[in-house]
Amino acid sequence: MGSAEPRIEILIVGAGLAGLFCALECKRRGFAPIVLESRDVVQSVGDFITIGPTAIRAFKNWPTLYDAFHKAAYDTNVYYHKQHGEVGAGPRKVNESFGWNIIRPDLHKMLMDTVLANGIGVRYLQHVVEFLETPDKGGVKLSDGEILYADLVIAADGIRSKSWMVVTGEEPKTYSSGSAIFRCAYPTSHAMTIPSLRENWDTSTHGETMHFFLGSVSHGIMLIGKEKTCWGWMHRDDETTSVESWSAKLSSETALQQLDGDGEWSPEYRAVVDATPPNSIIHWRLVWRDLHKDWVSPKGRVVQIGDAAHAFLPTSVNGGTQAFEDAVSLPCCLRMAIDQKGLDGIPTATKVHNTLRLDRVSFIQQLGFKRRNAYYNLDWEAVKKDPSLVASEPAKWQYEHDPEKYAATRFEECRNCLETGKAFKNTNVPEHYTFEPWTVKDMEAGTK
């Protein structure tokens, strides 16, 4: 693919998963991306993340990243337990359509290494306090007063992005979900000091395993890999200890107190929580946001991707995958629009990208709400007969999607529809799906 003429400068705010991969794809398309990050040392924290086939296929454009991902990804047998520990279903081998689990910090390091190896600049600056735009530029204002401009600014700075004021003119409304989640990872060698865990789930005997412990008001996950053991617990929120932040930490003693408040749990699951090293547990408050249709500023020079545009519940098992799909789709749209109109094509590209992605993201967000409710209302006798009832494996329309091919083949039609006012029909969703706006209230009431 030819290089862009003139030189297209792009600022990407946020060195997370979405921002780093978008930088790589912008580079591949011939642009000049620079990643801006407010922390001088990026510390990626958390447990594991599931990356679906649609994202993994895109990694093939970066062979070193693709190989490193597959070497580090977990190959798990999955078990579904009742809260107290009884196995209700499993083991089940994870279907390739589900994707692969990987430790989030490991994936982050792979992406950062690939970005730096390909000569993409990463600048560690003051916090971005405001996003700006002129008719032909996007910009950011930093906390020290410095202002930076580029042909396009991509907001990849997560759920608390400051970009909403320039995109919609107001901050998104948030609603308490009533839930929070503990997330943690530590060395499996430490976990194997627990006698029952070593006896029953040692990886040399049982391979890598993932365990769901499903209760009536909360659920836990335990993943035992060769190198790392992760656990997470999605539960009723305790507003005295949880915040919407990757830097919030709490002790294993506090975690166990809250865990035991929800009834009897598997002794092995409790032991994994109890053995957690100090300062390792993230307590993340799950805050809901209504669907947002518009991820692009009025002049098209600031665009949101990943969590900045669309946050997901963990039960969607697809938030990271959709962030990577964004990171593929947007640069493809930019390349096509700029080839047609030069710099003047940027606003068209961002708006086409938004349109191509909205319906798909919206439906997958809704699936997260529905799966969360289903976990707490299980018929275990039915599950024993059909374990797929509790599986989170995606449907064919999800895992066979190719975000790059889709953007390339639907770009012209979508652009024409936006320019003429004609309705555009996305085909990256279930065949009979019709997009309807929704709110958190709708999802809670079960009306959508």
Residues involved in catalysis: 183
Distance CA 214, CA 258 (A): 16
Residue 308 carries which DSSP code? G
308 CB-contact burial (10 Å; exposed 0-12 / middle 13-18 / buried 19+): buried
E strands present in 71-218: 76-82, 87-93, 100-103, 121-124, 128-134, 137-142, 147-150, 152-155, 174-187, 208-214
The backbone torsions φ and ψ at residue 314, rounded to the nearest 5 degrees and listed phi first, read -55, -30
Distance CA 174, CA 176 (A): 7
DSSP 2-60: PPPSS--EEEEE--SHHHHHHHHHHHHTT-EEEEEESSSS-----SEEEE-HHHHHHHT
Distance of CA 56 to the CA centre of its chain: 13
Distance CA 210, CA 229 (A): 10
For tokens 């797929």, the residue is 388
Distance CA 122, CA 116 (A): 8
Residue 95 carries which DSSP code? P
CA neighbor of 221 nearest in space, from 10, 33, 22, 375: 375
The backbone torsions φ and ψ at residue 406, rounded to the nearest 5 degrees and listed phi first, read -60, -45
Question: 304 has which bridge partners?
Answer: 155
Contacts of 96 (CB under 8 A, 6+ apart): 53
Q: How does strand 281-289 pair with strand 128-134?
A: unpaired
For tokens 């066979």, the residue is 400
- Helix-strand-coil split of the chain, %, nearest 5: 40, 25, 35
